[in-house]
Structure 1
């Protein structure tokens, strides 16, 4: 990846005067580690939001007089809004500036957490959690990855930075049930949203240390038509999955409409390119085979993680009758596994190629799902779920970072806004689809049979991700320079 040696993007310069100027600008900027803390926390809180509600299913359903399907819809819509708006969010980041979009996104997200905390019914909860928090996340996540790419110019440092951010994201997703369960049992499910609001406030304060390395590009064209078509297509596709257990004809109609809308989006993009205009997403992003395979692995990873999280959490609460804290404690096994493998991610990356790490991660995660399948008709003890969840955490921790690094490193700096938005969109679409598919199978009949079917479907999808990882090109482990 080509990265300019000066913050203004002018490239390397000769002469003592130029070096002095670069040194002076570097002194004004915070150390990268100070930048990394708020960026990693931002990824943590967004991932936490996607999974912590899973342990609140019974509490929210009872308090708001709704159903398990109502809570599932709220979670899925939150993930879907993120996926649908992540690509436009990446473009807006380039146009208005990375730090500005980060702060605005955090503020919108914070408003959503407050609305969710005081929600009197399911409608306000969807408005706060699914809409406001989803829009806020779509605005703040692209800057996280773009700033990381721009600030950490050394290849080894950038790999470690992405590792820290992805580890915090994985920990947020894995620890969400435990933290959410503790807060729900000790106080209320509403307090979990207050917790998020407090974290967001801390992040906003910490962003004062961030200095945007590259100025915004106000002339960057925003393709409104493309954004509408892209978002509409994704929404229709996921909504089609959500209604699968209610009406087969409606499901077919939504899926067909979603597919046609996505086709119209790509035709729109091609027409824009032929006319010499700037589309929402350039088709050349999809001509990179390595990046395409990396995107498939990202999508599959988050589909499996969020799908398993919802299925197991719903099964434990609805079928086994566990409360929020019991469910959260059981899920701590996946958190421990992810922490252990994430701590060793940097060491693994120095010794093994990224392709190998992703393949090992998928294999381990699929084995974990296999162990969870045995719990459907096994011992009533909660401990039977621990080995499977531990393996899933270990597998996810091994492969999350390499997949992101494969994609981000496949493109130069001037395309980081687009590829970051696409990468995050694909990952969040995976989370949304995983929750929708697995949840729809289980909600139709919350018993041991559908629980096993949902996990089996996720395991088969994982095999597809393993196949994509196996096709990644072989590359030597990265070496540290400087």
Structure 2
């Protein structure tokens, strides 16, 4: 048991880092009430958290190289705990944003890359594959348990206790710091690339901001943006600006390498097929998971009318099967190889999506829904069991913090894309289906159709049918037409949900394309990672002699 103490500490930190967002998502209505604000303000706070994490993850990984991964891990935890404490007592929305979005986000950006590298340093061979499987399962479990824990706390106590509990966990982890080991550094530490850090943070922040706000601003036609560009929504322009800054960042990094100075990240790492495929697979995993975890709670809470705790209970099978599958998957990967396990996971996720589509009905079948959630957890657990190990053992010892920064940047980008893209598709499909239903319903008069069309042009939200009924009654429609509008919206709700879930299925199938570079050999074999012959001066030359994968392709 003592052998796994380090994993308990590192796994607790991983679970803590992913718990917050899922807790906040089910507590939005209570936060609106407590701070006397609007839903959009709370969504902005959640968006800022994702922005801070995505923008500073690569920087956090580089700081681990400079000051030591163990030191950065525990310093980041202390920062994170400070943010949690401030969040727990936040008297205003501004203090909430400072504590949760900024301070906790910065703490997570320091902790996560160091945590990924420390797993590799504390475990070798087969134990490392098991460790990454457990850590991956805990990450998914945090996403799944968050709604249950947050829902129960919010419904029966207060959401503030979740953050107070996080402080207790952080203190406990800090007291166990002796169990984490780190290999002493050989040679001088690298220098921080300040310009590269600023460019990467700015580029990623702009890109993530554009994607996250697409649901509010609209992709092309402006929906509710703060400004327009030549009459168009600013979304694509903001994303384009982020891409332009990132292109400038790559040129700057190449210039530093050519000049013999330390870059923020060695871009030649991305030429390695194993690492590149692992990062793209991780991005896909989080895109699929967060897309579904945006859609499914809407079905449970808005369509079925369940409260936060009841919603969390129905998501529990995902957490349970994900933990089991991640443990089994790490063993399976040693026999079948990561590529086969990831493709099996994607096939399982496809089956789960098909099953979910069959369960999205006006009246929920709890048994069928629980089974679909369990299958979803199996697929996610199998996928999570492989990717952390693939990414970290696909590089040499010196590049592990850089790989960790890239790993969690890909994870947060996937999460942002999942919420934004699937959310946009959901709202777009809802509007289209509602328009079609209203136009084809003979019970509605031309005047009622016109009133509904005017309301749609002003924007549409995913709300309950009772809210639609009340709005129709306030508009002065006769009872028969109120029923017709309500029925049309109820049908459009289900069509919108199914379209969004179907889109995650399409992304799942497309994800098979990025698995080509994953290792096919058994894990646990002491073979070096695949390296690119055309590398930077000091990139990819320090290979790990205890590598867990046999890279192919």
Give TM-score scaled by structure 2 length.
Answer: 0.76
Task: Give the SS at the match of 1:136.
Answer: helix
Q: Give per-residue Cα distances to partners, 1:73-111, cap 9 Å, x unaligned.
A: 333332332222111111101111122211111111112
Distance 2:156 2:188 in 1: 48
Are the equivalent residues in 1 in contact too, given 2:77–2:108 (CA < 8 A)?
yes
Q: 1:205 aligns with which of 150, 169, 175?
A: 175
Q: Which residue of 2 aligns with 1:25?
A: none
Q: 2:261 aligns with which of 277, 281, 295?
A: 277
Distance 1:76 1:392, change over 3 A: farther
Alignment of structure 1 residues 175-190 onto 2, 5 Å: 175-190=145-160
1:440 Cα deviation after fit = 4.4
The answer to whether residue 53 in structure 2 is matched with residue 82 in structure 1 is: yes
Quote the residue 2:452 is aligned against.
Answer: none
State the distance in 2 between where 1:72 and 1:439 align.
13
Q: Does 1:232 align with 2:202?
A: yes
Equivalent position of 1:96 in the other structure = 67
Q: Are the equivalent residues in 1 in contact too, given 2:334–2:522 (CA < 8 A)?
A: no
1:313, CA displacement in angstroms?
2.0
Partner of 1:460: 506
Matches of 2:103 and 2:237 in 1, distance apart? Answer: 28
Note the C-alpha offset of 1:180.
1.7
Is the Cα–Cα contact under 8 Å of residues 282 and 411 in structure 2 kept in the other structure?
yes
Report if aligned partners of 1:299, 1:426 keep a CA contact under 8 Å in 2: yes
Give the Cα–Cα distance (whole angstroms) in 2 for the partners of residues 42 and 436 of structure 1: 27
Corresponding residue SS for 1:430: helix
Q: Distance in 2 between matches of 1:459 and 1:418?
A: 31
Name the SS for the 1:82 alignment partner: helix
CA apart distance, 1:138: 0.7
Confirm whether residue 288 of structure 1 aligns to residue 272 of structure 2: yes
* Distance of 2:46 and 2:56 partners within structure 1: 16
Q: Cα RMSD over matched residues?
A: 2.3
The answer as to whether partners of 1:179 and 1:328 remain within 8 angstroms in 2 is: yes
Identify which of 382, 386, 397 aligns with 1:413: 397
Q: Secondary structure at the match of 2:91?
A: coil
Structure 2 vs 1, CA of residues 462 and 125 (structure 1 numbering), >3 Å: closer, same or farther? farther
Change (3 A) 1:108 1:413: same
C-alpha displacement of 1:476? 3.1
Unaligned 5+ runs, structure 2: 223-231, 428-459, 463-492, 527-545, 547-553
- Are 1:304 and 2:274 counterparts? no
**Structure 1 residue 445 and structure 2 residue 461: aligned?**
yes
Relative to the length of structure 1, the TM-score reads 0.87
Mark the structure with the bigger radius of gyration.
2
Classify the secondary structure of the residue corresponding to 1:472: coil
Structure 1 pair 357–71 and aligned structure 2 pair: CA distance change class (3 A): farther
> Is 2:192 the counterpart of 1:222?
yes
Q: Whole-Å Cα distance in 1 between the matches of residues 186 and 167 of structure 2? A: 28
How far apart are 1:397 and its partner, in Å?
A: 0.5
Task: Report the counterpart of residue 432 of structure 2 in structure 1.
Answer: none
- Most deviating of 48-57 and 220-229: 48-57
Q: Is the 8 A contact 2:330 2:386 kept in 1?
A: no
Match of 2:211 in 1: 241
The runs of at least 4 aligned residues of structure 1 exceeding 6 Å deviation read none
Per-residue Cα deviation, 1:319-365 (whole angstroms, up to 9, x for no partner): 43221110110110111221221232233223321101101111212
Partner of 1:52: 23
Q: Is the 8 A contact 1:76 1:435 kept in 2?
A: no
C-alpha distance in 2 between matches for 1:459 and 1:445: 23
Aligned counterpart in structure 2 of residue 130 of structure 1, from 82, 85, 101: 101
Match of 2:79 in 1: 108
Structure 1 CA distance for aligned equivalents of residues 302 and 114 of structure 2: 39
Offset at residue 254 of structure 1 (A): 0.5
In structure 1, runs of 5+ residues without a counterpart are 1-29
Inter-partner Cα distance in structure 2 for 1:217 and 1:249: 51
